[in-house]
Chain A
Amino acid sequence: MTFEEDIVYFKSIQEELAKDHRGKFALIKNGENHGIFSSFEDAHKEALKKFGIVDVLIAQIGAEQPLNYMAMAM
């Protein structure tokens, strides 16, 4: 599965995960949830251990607050 497909997968399970894990971080790869972590860094370390240096999705559960880059057009 691609990185983009993992994003779609996360969106499909996010609501369910948010019931118990709001604010925590899910590690998603190949259409599977590989664990819930208290911090981005912990999920990142686990991703390196499990998959090596490849794209993975580390997504904060129920985080609706966007980042601001107000001087940027990006």
Chain B
Amino acid sequence: MRYLGKITNQRIVFRTRPDPNNPGQTQIQFALGAGAQALAIEGVLLNVSIEVDRWTAESLRAQSLPMPNPLPVQALVDTGASQLALDSTIVHSLNLARRGIATCDTAAGRRIAHLYAVSLSFPGTDLRRYDMLRAVEVDLTNQPFKCLIGRETMANWHFHYNGQSGGVSISD
């Protein structure tokens, strides 16, 4: 298998405690097992960039209209999600035009969600960029992440999850 891009995320967690040998000072220790714990609690979080899709960007350029800035956000890799999903704040910030609707089965029942076109990239990694992906709008208000990466994107990945060490490796 030939990998075009790769990201490896090994969580390293440190703990601080008062230094018993130097009163008033703090000791920093590598917390064995804490990376695995963090991964189990938070899930697989990646830094991604969301932008208008390639064709909308071309249209904006052709009309000399302002281009919305790419939005750097945290994304959760969600094997329970069919395709890319974005929080409403991203949809509004990028001023996205609706491209349709999607029927979505969720834990709370069936919902109709608006559909948009965006581009997705993974800054600081070699993972490939997606110039045009369909994304549904969801409410992630109370979540630390503003994007769900679903199986449509994961279909291009070799994804390794090591729950024991807290490491994740993705290549495409």
Q: Indicate, yes or no, whether A interacts with B.
A: yes
Q: Which size class do B's interface residues fall under?
A: 35 or more
Interchain CB contact under 8 A, B56 and A74: no
Interchain CB contact under 8 A, A67 and B83: yes
Please choose the segment from A16-24, A30-38, A46-54 that sits at the chain B interface, where 4 or more of its residues have CB less than 8 A away.
A46-54
Contacts of A70 in B (CB 8 A): 80-81, 105-107
Number of residue pairs spanning A and B whose beta carbons lie under 8 angstroms apart: 103
Q: How far is the CB of B45 from chain A (nearest CB, A)?
A: 14
Whether A69 contacts B53 in the complex (CB less than 8 A), given A52-B63, A54-B97, comes out as no
Chain A positions near chain B (C-beta within 8 angstroms): 3, 7, 40-41, 44-45, 47-48, 52-59, 66-74
Pairs across A and B, CB under 8 Å, 26 listed: A40-B134, A41-B132, A44-B53, A44-B117, A47-B99, A48-B58, A52-B59, A53-B59, A53-B60, A58-B100, A58-B115, A66-B103, A66-B104, A67-B82, A67-B113, A69-B78, A69-B104, A70-B105, A70-B106, A70-B107, A71-B78, A72-B80, A72-B138, A73-B108, A74-B106, A74-B113
